[in-house]
Structure 1
Amino acid sequence: MKIVELPIEFEFNGEKNYIYPTLIVLNDELTLVDTGYPGFLPLIEKEMIKNGYKMKNLKTIIITHYDDDHIGSLHDFKKKYPWIYIIASETESKFISGEMKSERLIQAEKLLESMQNDEKKFGHWFIQQLKNLRHVSIDEKVHDGDMILDNKCRIVGTPGHTSGHISLYFLSLKSVITGDAAVNENRKLVIANPQFCLNVEKAEQSLSKIKNLNAETYYCFHGGKLTYH
């Protein structure tokens, strides 16, 4: 088993940006963690193929949480590869499937009310971005402590950024896939976008929780992997 980082380069507001979804390779079967923004399926496919992997071997997608940069292309993946098995936490599943209005959309609509006029354009765009996300049903709803992927991966409940956020711990690889429970900033693990955290106190506790796993490698969706030797 191994974890492969997939650096995805894109432009936003005229600036070069990166996100880092991850691929888990286990017995020739592939598991993708998070799917990038809407329209990112071709970018992720290209990166996977560049690394020598075949899309027909993509069997599972794990979603760490409901945010447009993490679930944006989930519907596209499911449509193109209908056999894909989708895993998310029970809480986030409700938002991804459309069973409940997402926390992020509620937060964005609330923030819009207090925004200055020059910020409102972005606020409206972001709300529309969230409303445009296509709902997808979840095949397996997981909780803190659950074991998946042939018992090689432990679900770590890391609420704060969103209430049902999960990270993934691989004891045999001494590795954690953090989602947005941690970002790599100047070779330090910090919480992601504190101003958008739904609960900063819980986000800090979750960050401590994954740091206390004492992993050697942390795969951060933002900032890329951080390795301790």
Structure 2
Amino acid sequence: MTAYYPLEIEFEFNGLKQSIWPVILQDESDVILIDCGYPDFLPLLENAALRHSIQLETVTKIILTHDDMDHTGSAAALKRKYPHLEIYAFESEAPYIEGTKKSLRLAQAEATLNRLAGEEKSSAEQFIRFLESIEHVPVDRTLNDNDILPWCGGVQVIHTPGHTPGHISLYLPSEQTLIAADAVVIEDGRLEIANPGYCLDLKEAVRSVQKLLDYEISRLICYHGGIFQGDAKKALQQLVRDYETMEERP
């Protein structure tokens, strides 16, 4: 038996209603959680899993697709509560998750301070303090591009840099399902690059979308936006064309 469950989690952040979509994969021997939300999200994760009749304590592994506060924020708390969990991440992203290297998102935020003043600067300083508060967690196993993980009939690791250098997406060949993480997001029913203003390398992010076209995708799950409704491959092609057109403009 192989199953996957997108977990819709709705919440408020900075006064705005938002939602994220971690995913649980399940087979006869393992339950794998892909990403885990902001800090203090354990109750939300537990409730979301229970809606699919899954106890969070049965999760055996966590895959962190990249080092961002809304993907890794509860990882340390999960490991503390469920010490049997094994944590996986891409090889080059692991040092940021573990805290042996300074968070690139934190460095990006700090670099903006000199250009800001007044309320904008105050908000940026508050954001930096929040990033500094994110608890780090050791990574038990590192991943590489094209690794095939031995769960659910095989889960392929796809290195999709751009949003962060070590960002990964995951592909389930048996289901023709792509778990995109932040490689793309859904906005107003359309696929878009995830938050271009925070994308550490936009051109690389577009190349990663182009890379995803090599896969047969019947279902596409985005961390922001959930399950894409429509022809995923056609939508990915259109997104690449849109950015190519932008680059061609004088």
Residue number in structure 2 paired with 1:182: 184
TM-score normalized by the length of structure 2: 0.88
Counterpart secondary structure, 1:91: coil
Residue number in structure 2 paired with 1:69: 70
Residue number in structure 2 paired with 1:82: 83
Residue number in structure 1 paired with 2:20: 19
Counterpart secondary structure, 2:228: strand
Question: Compared with structure 1, are the counterparts of its residues 42 and 168 closer, same or farther at alpha carbon in structure 2 (3 Å cutoff)?
Answer: same
CA distance in 2, matches of 1:192, 1:22: 18
Gaps of 5+ in 2: 232-250
Residue number in structure 1 paired with 2:222: 220
Residue number in structure 2 paired with 1:135: 136
Q: Are the equivalent residues in 1 in contact too, given 2:62–2:86 (CA < 8 A)?
A: yes
CA distance in 2, matches of 1:164, 1:45: 28
Letter in 2 for 1:170: L
Counterpart secondary structure, 1:195: coil
Superposed, which structure 2 residues align to 1:110-121 within 5 Å? Answer: 110-121=111-122
CA distance in 2, matches of 1:63, 1:146: 15
Q: Are the equivalent residues in 2 in contact too, given 1:190–1:207 (CA < 8 A)?
A: no
1:29 positional shift: 2.4
Residue number in structure 1 paired with 2:54: 53
Letter in 1 for 2:41: F
Is the deviation greater in 159-168 or in 7-16?
7-16
CA distance in 2, matches of 1:72, 1:198: 19
Q: Are the equivalent residues in 2 in contact too, given 1:2–1:173 (CA < 8 A)?
A: no
Identity rate of aligned residues, in percent? 39
Residue number in structure 1 paired with 2:3: 2
Letter in 2 for 1:169: Y
1:89 positional shift: 0.4
Letter in 2 for 1:195: G
Q: 1:152 aligns with which of 154, 160, 164?
A: 154
CA distance in 2, matches of 1:3, 1:112: 42
Greater share of residues in strand: 1
Counterpart secondary structure, 1:155: strand
Q: Are the equivalent residues in 1 in contact too, given 2:4–2:24 (CA < 8 A)?
A: yes
1:122 positional shift: 2.1
Q: Are the equivalent residues in 2 in contact too, given 1:144–1:156 (CA < 8 A)?
A: yes
Letter in 2 for 1:102: S
1:116 positional shift: 3.7
Match status 1:198 vs 2:200? yes
Is the deviation greater in 145-154 or in 29-38?
145-154
Larger Rg: 2
Residue number in structure 2 paired with 1:124: 125
CA distance in 2, matches of 1:131, 1:28: 36
Letter in 2 for 1:34: D
1:197 positional shift: 0.6
1:149 positional shift: 3.2
Cα offsets for 1:21-43 (capped at 9, x unmatched):
11111215211110100111110
Q: Are the equivalent residues in 2 in contact too, given 1:216–1:227 (CA < 8 A)?
A: no
Letter in 2 for 1:57: T
CA distance in 1, matches of 2:42, 2:150: 23
Q: Are the equivalent residues in 1 in contact too, given 2:45–2:56 (CA < 8 A)?
A: no
Letter in 2 for 1:29: D
Letter in 2 for 1:2: A
Cα offsets for 1:46-76 (capped at 9, x unmatched):
1101210122320000000000000000001
Letter in 2 for 1:158: T
